[in-house]
Amino acid sequence: QVQLVESGGGLVQAGGSLRLSCEVSGRTFSSYYMGWFRQAPGKEREFVAAISRSGGYIAYANSVKGRFTISRDNAKNTVYLKMNSLKPEDTADYYCAATSGPLNSPIATRRDMYDYWGQGTQVTVSS
């Protein structure tokens, strides 16, 4: 049974920073492609960032490029999302996701490519 547990969300002022963590258990973490998604109230869940199994390939949504950084520590079974220069429009529930593939690409950037999801952590950015 694969489990993903997010942490690190909270309330922050615009311009501030947060670091989200997602710890994965149940199988060898380095075998998973990992991603972060977010869902604002009344909106679809959208892609934020993705990272390959080794960490060598990374992708970001245009809306967060240059402000967010995804990383992983395979020794700690954890993927991170460092969020800087936060804006009110970043307010959402943030979810990490995992898939063991197989994929036709080094990273997974679509919701339907992922098999496992965390319960989400709330991020609220005040103006």
Backbone φ and ψ of 106, nearest 5°: -70, -20
* Confidence grade of residue 125 (pLDDT, cut at 50, 70, 90): very high
Task: Judge whether 15 and 85 are in contact, CB under 8 Å.
Answer: yes
Instruction: Report the alpha-carbon distance of residue 7 to residue 94 in Å, rounded.
Output: 10
Closest of 53, 91, 93 to residue 73, by C-alpha: 53
For the chain, what is the largest distance between any 2 Cα atoms, rounded to a whole number of angstroms? 42
Model pLDDT, residue 1: 83
For residue range 79-88, what is the model confidence (pLDDT) as tens digits? 999 999 999 9
CA atoms within 13 A on the CB side of 10: 11
